[in-house]
Structures are given as structure tokens and as C-alpha cells.
Amino acid sequence: MEWENQEMQQAEEYLQYQIRNGLREKVMTDVQVEELRKQIVVYAAISEQLVELHKSMSAHHDFTGMRLGNLYCDSVTASIGHKITARQRWTPTPFQLQILENIYEQGTGTPGKQKIKEIASELAQHGQISETNVYNWFQNRRARSKRKLQASMAASATGEAESRTEDVVAKDKKTKPAGSDFADNIANRVESFYFQNSNAGIDQLIGKVESSRGYDSYTNLAEQYGLLG
């Protein structure tokens, strides 16, 4: 079947007419689709990562009210801003600390599993505590007293060129916090993003984003690529 030139012309006019009057929906050409395609490709790939994040975070984090010690923490105090962190940690009361220190000073080394139970139950009378807390406390206490000792020994050896030591310290100061900032930044950002959309699944997120700023984003993006002119 062949079409006369005049017929094509007429059909084209008709098509444009339909579009103008909403009788036919506006269309995108393959070229445009191709551009969108590229965008989606990239977005999809990147987004998969955060979706994965979301999943793993959801799996490991339940939002049932957390309580530890005497602190109640409403975990989902997620404001739109930042600082949504909900993790709480045990803090020994002065009394508990005193007892722990005493036991530690007694030099009975590391309390065994059984000993820990004893200590924990005793301390429990003076505040919320778990055996793990006791265990951790001794671990840290030992490790840190040892580190202090090392540090003091290193300090006593300051007889030599401290310029060298200075360099070491300087570099240490530089490298370590850098890494920490770095990681902190990541964690904070992602955490923030996650908690901002905490209870929402990815699907709900769709609606949320859409209603808030999504369409503007989309428009900008599309225009940038000359789509949807």
C-alpha cells in the first residue's frame, strides 16, 4: 500500500491538530526516549545501591521503641533536618563505676564468665546494666590502661629527636581524623537520607518525592536534555 504525498501531508496536519487539541497525547520520539533511557540507566544503577542500603538497614533496624538504662529513646524523632540518631549506650552510674574500678584494682585480671554474672547482678541493684556491659567495660579498661602505659613509655623516650616524633604525631593527626570525617560524612548523609524516609518503603518514597519536589527535578532534568520541549 502506498500513500500519496498529499495524504501524508494531511495526516501530519491532523496529527498536530490532535495534539494541539488534546485529542491525541503528546509524544516522544525515539531520540528523546533514548536520552531518557540513558538517564534511567544511570539512575537505576545508582539507585539500586541505595535501595540495597535501605533493605539492609530495614533488616537490621527495627523501630520498636528502644530503651536502655534509664533512657527512653523515641527512635523515630526524625525531623526533616539531621541529627536523627537514636542509638543510646549504657552509662555506668558513679556507683557502678566505683564498684567496677574496685574490682579492677583488685587485680583479679579478667573476670571469667561466671564472675561477670556476679558483678552484673550486683551492679544491677544500682542501675540498669547487662553482662555485656560489664564484659565490655573490662575489655576497654584493660586495653586502655595498657595503651596509656605504652604512651607514657613512648613519652619517656623523648630523649631523642622529637622532630621526628613531631612529624609522626602530625601525620597521625592528619590521616586518622581525615578517615573518620570521611566515614562520618558518609554515614551521616546516608543515615540522614534513610531516616528522612524512615518508615516509608521505597514505594512510599516514590509518592513522597513526587509530591514534594519530584516534578521540578524531573522537569529540570528533562529540559537539560532537551526533552519534553
Partner DNA sequence: CCGATATGAATGAAAG
Partner DNA sequence: CTTTCATTCATATCGG
Q: Which does 26 bind (CB under 5 to 8 A by kind): DNA, its own copies, none?
A: its own copies
Is there binding between residue 49 and its own copies (CB under 8 A)? yes
Is there binding between residue 112 and its own copies (CB under 8 A)? no
Q: Which does 143 bind (CB under 5 to 8 A by kind): DNA, its own copies, none?
A: DNA
Q: Which does 110 bind (CB under 5 to 8 A by kind): DNA, its own copies, none?
A: DNA
What's the Cα-to-Cα distance from 175 to each of 25, 144, 169, 170, 178, rounded to whole Å?
58, 21, 10, 9, 5
The three state secondary structure string of 123-173 is: HHHHCCCCHHHHHHHHHHHHHHHHHHHHHHHHHHCCCCCHHHHHHHHHHHH
What letter would DSSP give residue 213?
I
- Indicate which single residue of 183, 199, 201, 226 sits in contact with its own copies (rule: CB under 8 A): 183
Nearest to 195 by CA among 53, 89, 43, 90: 53
Radius of gyration over every alpha carbon of the chain, rounded to an integer in angstroms:
32
Residue 213 CB, nearest approach to DNA (Å) = 24
Q: Enumerate residues 62-81 that contact its own copies by CB under 8 A.
A: 62, 64-68, 74, 76-77, 80-81
Residue 15 CB, nearest approach to its own copies (Å) = 6
Burial of 41 (0-12, 13-18, 19+ CB in 10 A): exposed
Binding site for DNA (CB under 7 A): 85, 87-92, 97, 109-110, 112-113, 132-133, 136-144, 146-147, 176-177, 179-181, 183-184, 186-187
DSSP bridge pairs for 68? 71
Is there binding between residue 104 and its own copies (CB under 8 A)? no
Residue 103 CB, nearest approach to its own copies (Å) = 17
- Indicate which single residue of 5, 10, 145, 229 sits in contact with its own copies (rule: CB under 8 A): 10
Cα atoms in the 13 Å half-sphere on the side-chain side of 123:
30
